[in-house]
Amino acid sequence: MSCSMEFVQYVCEQLQGCGDITYRRMFGEFGFYVDGVYIGAACDNQLFIKVTDAGKKMIKDPVYGEMYPGAKPSFLIENLQDKELLEKLVLATRNALVKKKKV
């Protein structure tokens, strides 16, 4: 099963305070980018965010999931309605990934 465009658009709406949000179709699903940095994906109408140390510090009891069988574990975001936490997590993830690229 793949993601619906309604789900992808909803995620984009929830992330609108994070910067330039874009998405690309990837293997029948969708990858999300913030200011050009890949931060996660939507698969089967579920949102997965890349795991970073900054993200681990923000989420008290993280739920992990695989975007597809054999993929690296990602944060599985179960509460998309908590826009404030979601935006903070996504911005922290983007910032951590940008710093990692520069090293």
Predicted confidence (pLDDT) at residue 101 exceeds the cutoff of 70? no
What's the confidence (pLDDT) of residue 1?
Answer: 59
Higher pLDDT, 71 or 38: 38
Report pLDDT digits (tens) over 29-68: 999 999 999 999 999 999 999 999 999 999 889 999 998 8
Annotation: CATH topology of 5-102:
Yope Regulator; Chain: A, (3.30.1460)
For the chain, domain boundaries = 5-102
Two structure tokens written together for 101: 């690229």
Phi, psi of 44, deg, nearest 5: 50, 40
What's the confidence (pLDDT) of residue 69?
Answer: 87
Q: Mean pLDDT over residues 76-101, rounded?
A: 91
Contact (Cβ atoms closer than 8 angstroms) between residue 87 and residue 21: no
DSSP state of 47: E
